[in-house]
Amino acid sequence: METFEEFVKRILTILFWFLLISPLIIFPVLFLLVPLLGIDVTLANEILTATIDPFKAIKLADRYGVGPSSTFFKVAAFPGFTFAALVATLVILYERKLMAKAQLRVGPLYAGRFEGVLQPIADLFKLLGKELVVPEKADKTFFWAAPILSLGLGAALLTVIPLSPTTYIARSEFSLLIPFAIIGFSPLVVLIAAWASSNKFAFIGGLRALHQLAAYEIPMLLSILGIVILTGSFDLMKIVEAQKDMWFIFPQFLAAIIFYITILSELERVPFDLPEAETEIVSGWLTEYTGMHFGLLQLGVYVKFYVLALLFTLLFLGGWNGPAFLPPIVWLLTKLFFVITMIIFPRAVLPRLRIDQLIRIGWAWLIALSFINLFIAVIESSLGVI
Amino acid sequence: MQNAAMNIEDKGGDQLVLHVGPQHPGSGHFRIIVTVDGDYIVGAKPDPGYVHRGAEKMAEYRDYIQNIPHLERPVIIDATGVTLPYVLTAEKIIDVEAPDRAQYIRMIMAELNRIISHLYWLGIYGIFLGHSTMFMWPMGDRELFIDLAESIGGTRVTFSYVVPGGVRNDMPTNFKERALKTFDYFEKRIEEYKKIFFNNPLMSARTEGIGTMDKKDAIRLGITGSNLRACGIDSDTRKDETYCLYDRVDFEIPTRKEGDSYARCIVRLEELQQSMNIMKQVFDLIEPGPIKQVIGGVMRGEPGEAFVRTEAARGTMFYHIVSDGEKNPYRVKISVPSFRNLIGMTHLLVGSRLADMPAIYWSLDYWPVEADR
């Protein structure tokens, strides 16, 4: 039995020897083949040096339009997918540690020298090594489609959400509406996964997800409408700009609470984790998913987690606004961390609700409260609070 | 043989048949075949027997001492609770009586085991309602009581500690101090349990009025233990048919009138406190003395029969032993509380929601291994 550290050491050793030996093969090949293909010979040198020199790699990438300022980089790396996936992974680790502290446990401890910081990587390797079991009676196309759709939806959410006045992938007049339009699609992914699994427990989980959608979707949209009334814009940039003097959590406190509750419901987190209630319906719609299928579904959920926490920060906590001694993005991430903690914490203190109770909360309380909130917003806007 | 319970599959229409168990996170070692119409359960058919080993028959091939470790297997989390009635019955057959000190130590072990078993139940009940902190806390605190019991019995859970004529060995000299320290800590923890779980509005929303058992139904179905006390009947074998020296200690029988899942929970929580109260009194009453009446040679029962009822963690545990004068018992009949709870469960599940199934099922503290024996 090798430990995780030994495993990483082995991988790194292989990588080291590969980098050392590969030039012996690659150099002659490149110098022989590249001139034949009519490409500049210096490029081969550059490619090889770029593999070990990140600064040269950036320069090289810049030349071919994939550098840090390019659209590709934005989509794939920094404000885009890689960053979101990294945050999502860290959220998983943070959640496990926070839950462990609340429950008088230690949580992940052995992967990595300090407090199990490498646990997400260990989990990833574990999931990659698992067999992908597709049930015999499953609808194979949709069974495969659901994990990809889940992650795709999570990634699509990232497109129009800005991280700072200068850090964004795409600007849009309707950058507030677009994420909610995409989120509305996510229960469909759950239903696809549930139906394709052809499993009774998964099927019940899928139906529960649809019921849940009916309970939270309307209050969620109504709660953000107050902010739209106050700012007169669907543009997240303008909404954040409008919070220079006062965060919207103060004039729109009710909306913040409603939005927070509906976030918990959208993310299927305790106390609203009905679609995957373990002791009732095994794992709900996730029951039949194994290995990296499960990994992608979970990653999709956690990317959505990151996006919704980010939206809460932008809408109610003033986004990147803050004293000038720190760059805007640091303020944003600090607030984001706080919001993530708030979303994780109910899991430590609350039991699960029942579906009828959830629908009663959604329809009887949240919708009524969000209409009251709309009135408040109209009054505030006519009085000129903002 | 085709299982009779499978016939329920034939129902058509909008109804869905779910096999909850034996491989289900919320089932335990048994299956319950649930028919749901929408969100409501219209039929519930328990299918026990997955862990049936024939413990009663096997007991006929073992002598009175060998039977002790054997008969505690069905309920290892309540090891003393299940062996104590056996030993008491065997003592009647063999015609020995344990000295007072042994009786007191038996009471301490029985109450420690009741706490260990109830904490296990509480942890699982927490996770059955989706409350993961309530799973971890009692499981962690349970270790303290396991440590206490280990210092007397020598092992973590399967003590095999009570033997005919007394107990295996004396308890350590500093046991009282250690135990009182643990009790002080745990009394604080009970308050924290109440804060995070029992007074949690979501928890009471999930359990209050759910799985309500009628008083008359409870008596008719033969429900015992905490489940009966939650219906408003102050029945406790420790008081009704006193054994060991329970008549010398003063304790209350926690009861509730409602008979729902919440009542069953809160009764068990209060029993934790009562068990600690009993042990505290025993520490004052216990005096130095012999711990075992030594029986020479192989134990042989007088021809005849005897029975004893005790209060185990889950309810009344009944042993009936028939002896023909040989070294092995002729017949050992165990009547376990869990099996009666199973009968009650069918009545409670029908008409409730699917999501309430774990809330009802585990509030009865049904232990499949005990029921199957």
Give A36 or A198, the one with higher predicted confidence. A198
- What pLDDT band is residue B258 in, cutting at 50, 70 and 90? confident
The whole-chain average pLDDT of chain A stands at 84
Q: For the segment B110-125, what is each residue's pLDDT rounded down to a tens digit?
A: 999 999 999 999 999 9
How many CA atoms, within 13 angstroms, populate the side-chain half-sphere of residue B62? 15
B141 touches A: beta carbon within 8 Å: no
Burial letters A63-86, b for 16+ CB under 10 A, else e: eeebeeeeeebbbeeebbbebbbe
- Per CB-CB distance under 8 Å, the chain B contacts of A352 are 129-131, 202, 206, 355
- Strands B15-20 and B40-47, by their bridges, are unpaired
B211 touches A: beta carbon within 8 Å: no
* B183 burial level (CB within 10 Å; 0-12, 13-18, 19+): buried
Q: Do B196 and A349 count as a contact with CB atoms less than 8 A apart?
A: yes
Q: Do B202 and A204 count as a contact with CB atoms less than 8 A apart?
A: no
Q: For the segment A324-334, what is each residue's pLDDT rounded down to a tens digit?
A: 788 888 888 88
Question: Residue A272: closest CA among chain B residues belongs to which residue?
Answer: B130
* pLDDT-wise least confident of A51-55, B78-82, B118-122, B363-367: A51-55
Inter-chain Cβ pairs, chain A and chain B, closer than 8 A: 87
Question: Residue A201: closest CA among chain B residues belongs to which residue?
Answer: B18
Picking from A104, A281, A352, the nearest residue to B129 by CB comes out as A352
B39 touches A: beta carbon within 8 Å: yes
Question: Residue A106: closest CA among chain B residues belongs to which residue?
Answer: B136
B187 touches A: beta carbon within 8 Å: no
- Per CB-CB distance under 8 Å, the chain A contacts of B205 are 353-354, 357
Mean pLDDT of B100-104: 88
* CA atoms of B30 and B368, how far apart (whole Å): 6
Q: Do B355 and A279 count as a contact with CB atoms less than 8 A apart?
A: no
- Per CB-CB distance under 8 Å, the chain B contacts of A349 are 133, 196, 200
* CA atoms of B188 and A31, how far apart (whole Å): 76
Q: Do B133 and A349 count as a contact with CB atoms less than 8 A apart?
A: yes
- Per CB-CB distance under 8 Å, the chain B contacts of A355 are 39, 353, 355
Give me the residues of B, 145-174, that contact A with CB < 8 A: none
How distant is the Cα of B253 from the closest Cα of chain A, in angstroms? Answer: 29
How distant is the Cα of A186 from the closest Cα of chain B, in angstroms? Answer: 23
Cα angle A187, A298, A162; round to 5: 80
Candidates A179, A265, A88, A354; CA nearest to B207 is A354
Judged against a pLDDT cut of 60, whether residue B26 lies above it is answered with yes
- Per CB-CB distance under 8 Å, the chain A contacts of B203 are 351
* A107 burial level (CB within 10 Å; 0-12, 13-18, 19+): middle
Read off the tokens for A159.
């497109």
Cα angle B94, B338, A278; round to 5: 145
- Per CB-CB distance under 8 Å, the chain A contacts of B354 are 204, 280-281
Long-range own/partner contacts, residues B334-339 (CB < 8 A, 24 or more apart): B334/B55, B334/B56, B334/B71, B334/B74, B334/B373, B336/B74, B336/B75, B336/B370, B336/B371, B336/B373, B337/B224, B337/B225, B337/B312, B337/B370, B338/B314, B338/B365, B338/B366, B338/B367, B338/B368, B338/B370, B338/B371, B339/B48, B339/B370, B339/B371
List the domain range (segments joined by +) for residue B206: 55-338
Check residue A201 and give its pLDDT. Answer: 85
Judged against a pLDDT cut of 80, whether residue B6 lies above it is answered with no
Question: Residue A354: closest CA among chain B residues belongs to which residue?
Answer: B355
Mean pLDDT of A338-343: 91
Question: Residue B25: closest CA among chain A residues belongs to which residue?
Answer: A279
How distant is the Cα of B178 from the closest Cα of chain A, in angstroms? Answer: 22
Read off the CATH number of the domain in which B274 is found.
1.10.645.10
Q: Do B353 and A105 count as a contact with CB atoms less than 8 A apart?
A: no
Picking from B132, B196, B202, the nearest residue to A353 by CB comes out as B202
B285 touches A: beta carbon within 8 Å: no
Q: Do A277 and B355 count as a contact with CB atoms less than 8 A apart?
A: yes
Sorted by where each begins, the domain ranges of chain A are: 4-64, 83-96+103-111+114-383
Mean pLDDT of A245-269: 87
Residue B131 lies in a domain: yes
Q: How many domains, in total, are found in chain B?
A: 1
pTM to 2 decimal places: 0.85
Picking from A105, A277, A357, the nearest residue to B130 by CB comes out as A277
Candidates B265, B244, B242; CA nearest to B254 is B265
The whole-chain average pLDDT of chain B stands at 85
- Per CB-CB distance under 8 Å, the chain B contacts of A274 are 355
Q: For the segment A182-241, what is each residue's pLDDT rounded down to a tens digit?
A: 888 888 888 888 888 888 888 888 888 888 888 888 888 888 888 888 888 888 888 888
- What pLDDT band is residue A38 in, cutting at 50, 70 and 90? low
* pLDDT-wise least confident of A35-39, A133-137, B46-50: A35-39
Q: For the segment B143-188, what is each residue's pLDDT rounded down to a tens digit?
A: 999 998 889 888 888 888 888 888 888 888 888 898 999 999 999 9
* pLDDT-wise least confident of A31-35, B128-132, B145-149: A31-35
* CA atoms of A64 and A43, how far apart (whole Å): 12
Q: Do B353 and A204 count as a contact with CB atoms less than 8 A apart?
A: no
Judged against a pLDDT cut of 60, whether residue B11 lies above it is answered with no
B136 touches A: beta carbon within 8 Å: yes
Check residue A40 and give its pLDDT. Answer: 61
What is the C-alpha radius of gyration for chain B, rounded to an integer number of angstroms?
Answer: 21
Mean pLDDT of A10-39: 79
- Per CB-CB distance under 8 Å, the chain B contacts of A270 are 130-132
Residue B96 lies in a domain: yes
Judged against a pLDDT cut of 80, whether residue A134 lies above it is answered with yes
Judged against a pLDDT cut of 80, whether residue A345 lies above it is answered with yes
B129 touches A: beta carbon within 8 Å: yes
Q: Do A102 and B133 count as a contact with CB atoms less than 8 A apart?
A: yes
Check residue A35 and give its pLDDT. Answer: 67
Q: What is the predicted ipTM?
A: 0.81
* CA atoms of A147 and B109, how far apart (whole Å): 53
Give A72 or B147, the one with higher predicted confidence. B147
Read off the tokens for B299.
């134990």
Q: Do A356 and B18 count as a contact with CB atoms less than 8 A apart?
A: no
Mean pLDDT of B23-50: 84
- Per CB-CB distance under 8 Å, the chain B contacts of A280 are 26, 354-355, 357-358
Per cent of chain B over pLDDT 70 is 97
Picking from A200, A356, A357, the nearest residue to B18 by CB comes out as A200
Residue B74 lies in a domain: yes
Three-class secondary structure assignment of chain A? CCCHHHHHHHHHHHHHHHHHHHHHHHHHHHHHHHHHHCCCHHHHHHHHHHHHCHHHHHHHHHHCCCCCCCHHHHHHCCCCHHHHHHHHHHHHHHHHHHHHHHCCCCCCCCCCCCCCCCHHHHHHHHHHHCCCCCCCCCCHHHHHHHHHHHHHHHHHCCCCCCCCCCCCCCCCCCCCHHHHHHHCCHHHHHHHHHHHHCCHHHHHHHHHHHHHHHHHHHHHHHHHHHHHHHHCCCCHHHHHHCCCCCCCCCCCHHHHHHHHHHHHHHCCCCCCCHHHCHHHHCCHHHCCCCHHHHHHHHHHHHHHHHHHHHHHHHHHCCCCCCCCCCCHHHHHHHHHHHHHHHHHCHHHHCCCCCHHHHHHHHHHHHHHHHHHHHHHHHHHHHHCCC
How distant is the Cα of B56 from the closest Cα of chain A, in angstroms? Answer: 32
- Strands B315-323 and B304-312, by their bridges, are antiparallel
Check residue A32 and give its pLDDT. Answer: 73
Check residue B4 and give its pLDDT. Answer: 40
Judged against a pLDDT cut of 80, whether residue B38 lies above it is answered with no
